[in-house]
Structure 1
Amino acid sequence: MGNIHQDQNDQNKALHHQVAVVLVPFPAQGHLNQAIHLSRILSSYNLSVHYVGAAIHNRQARERVHGWDPHSAANLHFHDFQVPFFTSPPPNPNSDTQFPSHLQPSFNASSRIREPVATLLRSLSAKFKRVVVIYDTLMASVVQDVVYLPNTEPYALHSVSAFTVFLYIWESMGKPFDVDDGIFAEEWNIPSIEGCFSFEFLNFMAGQYHMANLYRGKLYNTSRVIEAPYVDLLAREEVNGRKTQWAIGPLNPVNVSKGMKPNDKQRNHCLKWLDKQNPNSVMLISFGSTTCMQDEQIVELAIGLLKSEQKFIWVLRDADKGNVFERENENYVERVFQLPKGYEERVKDHGLIVRDWAPQLEILAHPSTGGFMSHCGWNSCMESISNGVPIAAWPMHSDQPRNTVLVTQVLKIGVAVRDWGKRKEIVRSWSIENAVRKLMASKEGDDIRKRAQKLGFDVRRSAEDGGVSRLELDAFVAHITR
């Protein structure tokens, strides 16, 4: 019996050696992060994985990933491509919308790597039986030459929730079929996309989605444990034709806490601070890498956190520029945040303010973390959900307002801090204080946390051998190595 299994394993390895996988991520932090996590997962199947992009964005993905070391994956290869020069303007905290329009030059430049990607694909297609191209849906134009290579198969990676993807597609089709009230309840008051994107980015998306029919199938960074009804809706023939899809999330590592070493000298100071706190007593406050708050809003947030009397880690840093490594330039001027006078001294016993990149995944995995005030980017949602941490939702732009509905209304694992309908107003300190207290120090918050912890447990199980997400992942690998 053992020899039979060994023969099967040897056959699988031989098949996998005949397949190369090329990952083409979109150059925003949450998208880069999901793609590099997927690279790790696929390389663990003994597949040759090639991660492509501008040199600065590949470096960004490698240096910011948490939960594993990109240099430890023997089958993972990075391809640094030249992109046209682009300006890297600073974020504008006083912009009409909070969409990071200052990153548009970076997005435009990164969409100009079609030629080097095509060259790589031709090279790989001559060496491998099959080349599988997994591209972010916002990078379709970059991989359009797959149609000229008969042994190359493209698959689209959606980096947002199934809930949000389905809504976008269903609405764009004119809502061609009815959806059960239990799946989209009227009282949820699902927001439109007004105010979610800049006009320029909407045009950019339209250009990418124009090439939507490239794909052979779709991948979603979600789990049926989280979004089964919406995954099923996306599988309907009216929406997806007869193409296959796989819900293979969470892509982020789900057992980060098991690898934590309390005595590790290189361990981040945030984690050492958390070691001294009680279980579920600390709220992480972080609004992602593209959020730029007004000075007045930062002061209100500071006061709200102080008055809540709850422990917190606040990641207080400006939004990324198109080139995140400009900070290394000696002439770079960092934004100075004006907190209330004497603020850090007043909160030093129960609050930690971090002004650099923080290990979000490890913080969320820490047993002392009991809440997460977040912009509800899908990458952050999945990291929080998989660690069983409830969310205080404060959406800023893009898919975040609809993810907020999923978190607070559908899954009921969070509370809303900001009413999206009042997005142009400053969220006042009393409102922030109330949201923090509700999540961290109330019976309602305890109930929300229990639901989040149960969902997190189920999601982690789904990623184990025999779990629903692992089975979908295995099915995808079996499909591309058939």
Structure 2
Amino acid sequence: MDAGQRSVRVLMFPWLAYGHISPFLQLARTLARRNFMFYIASSEINLASMRGKISEKESDSIKLVDLHIPASPELPSHYHTTNGLPPHLMPALKEAMDLCRPRISALLKTLMPDLVLYDFLHPSVPEEAAAHDIPAVLFLSTGAAASSYFIHHCFENHASEYPFPGVSLRESECPKSTGIKASDFDRLRECVTRSCQIVLIKSFREIEGKYLGYLSTLTGKKFVPVGTVFQYPETMKNREHDKFIEWLDEKVEEIALGLEESGANFILVLRSPERGKIQEMLPRGFAERVCERGMVVEGWAPQASILSHPSVGGFLSHCGWSSVMEAIHCSVAIIAVPMHLDQPLNARLVEELGIGEEVVRNGQGNLAVVIRKVLLETGEDSLKSKMREWSKRVREKGEEDADVVAVELVTLCERSGGMGLLPSNSVNGDGFFIYKTDRVNQTGLQGFPNQTVVK
């Protein structure tokens, strides 16, 4: 970046979980190539794990900022992350984040960003940004289908029927059982309401168009999909891999037996609260019986790299949204075993798209049946064939969504009066986007042919 160039400065506040931090970091990487400058604020323990994932070149446009979350006897600093956090301390972590308002205000005053991006558990962030006359935009790293279901119940009377019954929670999957509390719904509603004009969401319009439309109608905000913000496997070499198969609670034995019965070759990735305890949770003699065709990995595995390998024919997944989008990008059909939070809703969407099948846990070998179906079925109507079609559409689109996001954010900054950007001649004769400040003229974001960026 030339010394005279004026970047769009963005301060990010992801929730204190790497499953949330990672999409923020990937979005920062994508937009940094479009003349944006990012500051990502989090706890020191999360920042320590991020530093090795930002290259020297990226460090020019992506900076890490310590939130200095207050420690307490109940919540020492090593618990300022959801990784390894005992479940009963989750409310304390949210309260500790709420106590960071003075630090958030100080960062806004010191860094003077043009824009703030925040997560759905941070309703105080847009309040502080408004006090400093800085526009703040919510970025949801969950999919549009799951988000629309939860936001429907935040904004609509509970007697109002959700319009997409095919993607909804079953009676046994009430918010309590999925790990969602009433206070989280309050936080989500406040975060959506306080978002300035638009909401960014990790989604594709081609995949979730009707859900994006419903979200916009429901909230009065324009929901803008950012695409996959996918970290390509080749950029992950020689780094600590970011994705892991989530701990599958008491279902480990059921899944292991299903894999064994299916006869398929497999990699089984598990995470245990206690290091070295995985073998004790597997069926007796399992490792010996499957050693010729199966690999059991404790802790971490390079998920995106594995999914990209041509020999992988199916993905047994809890259906976290990032995992679903990685599977689509890599064209690997999904065997869905959802557990909690948004996972059951994502599994229903997977079935609706025809790119996978959810396992009905009936104790009668259904997992093995689904695995064999995914791996062995062929033809135009097979799950693998439909997944290839969706993957092709996603790959062909490339980073078009990121281009639109960049325009939306710059336009928002201009409308808020903070940058002096987007004059009337901001689209040149070649259809490329130019933005100017009072201090310098520069070519900013590029590659917007045939778009009108100023209304």
- Superposition TM-score tier, normalisation by shorter sequence: 0.7 to 0.9
Normalising by structure 2, report the TM-score.
0.77
Other-structure match for 1:387: 330
Contact 2:180–2:341, Cα closer than 8 Å, also in 1: no
CA distance in 1, matches of 2:179, 2:393: 39
Contact 1:54–1:110, Cα closer than 8 Å, also in 2: no
Are positions 1:52 and 2:41 aligned together? Answer: yes
Other-structure match for 2:377: 442
Q: Secondary structure at the match of 1:453?
A: helix
1:367-398 deviations in Å (ceiling 9; x for gaps): 22221111111121111112221111111111
CA distance in 2, matches of 1:250, 1:303: 33
Shift in CA distance, 116/176, structure 1 to aligned 2, threshold 3 Å? same
RMSD: 3.4
1:417-439 deviations in Å (ceiling 9; x for gaps): 146xxxxxxx6371221121111
Are positions 1:413 and 2:355 aligned together? Answer: yes
Shift in CA distance, 175/336, structure 1 to aligned 2, threshold 3 Å? closer
Other-structure match for 2:444: none
Deviation (angstroms), 1:240? 2.8
AA matched with 1:222:
S
Other-structure match for 2:418: none
Shift in CA distance, 372/442, structure 1 to aligned 2, threshold 3 Å? same
Other-structure match for 1:96: none
Unaligned runs of 5+ in 1: 1-8, 92-98, 271-283, 320-331, 420-426
Unaligned runs of 5+ in 2: 414-420, 423-455
Matches within 5 A, 1:38-437: 38-62=27-51, 69-73=54-58, 74-85=60-71, 86=75, 88=79, 100=87, 103-125=90-112, 131-150=114-133, 152-172=134-154, 173-174=156-157, 184=164, 186=165, 190-191=169-170, 194-195=174-175, 201-207=181-187, 209-216=189-196, 217-236=198-217, 239-241=218-220, 243-253=221-231, 255-256=232-233, 287-288=245-246, 291-294=247-250, 297-318=251-272, 335-338=277-280, 339-408=282-351, 410-418=352-360, 428=363, 430-437=365-372
Are positions 1:472 and 2:401 aligned together? Answer: no
Shift in CA distance, 445/119, structure 1 to aligned 2, threshold 3 Å? farther
1:227-252 deviations in Å (ceiling 9; x for gaps): 1111122222xx232x4331111112
Q: Secondary structure at the match of 1:50?
A: strand
Which has the larger displacement, 362-371 or 156-165? 362-371
Shift in CA distance, 362/429, structure 1 to aligned 2, threshold 3 Å? farther
Deviation (angstroms), 1:202? 2.8
Shift in CA distance, 145/227, structure 1 to aligned 2, threshold 3 Å? same
Shift in CA distance, 10/245, structure 1 to aligned 2, threshold 3 Å? farther
Q: How many residue pairs get matched?
A: 400
1:37-67 deviations in Å (ceiling 9; x for gaps): 112112222222000010112233455x6xx
Deviation (angstroms), 1:195? 4.6
CA distance in 2, matches of 1:399, 1:165: 8
1:342-369 deviations in Å (ceiling 9; x for gaps): 3223222211111121111222222222
Normalising by structure 1, report the TM-score.
0.73
Contact 1:138–1:205, Cα closer than 8 Å, also in 2: no
Deviation (angstroms), 1:111? 3.7
Contact 1:393–1:418, Cα closer than 8 Å, also in 2: no
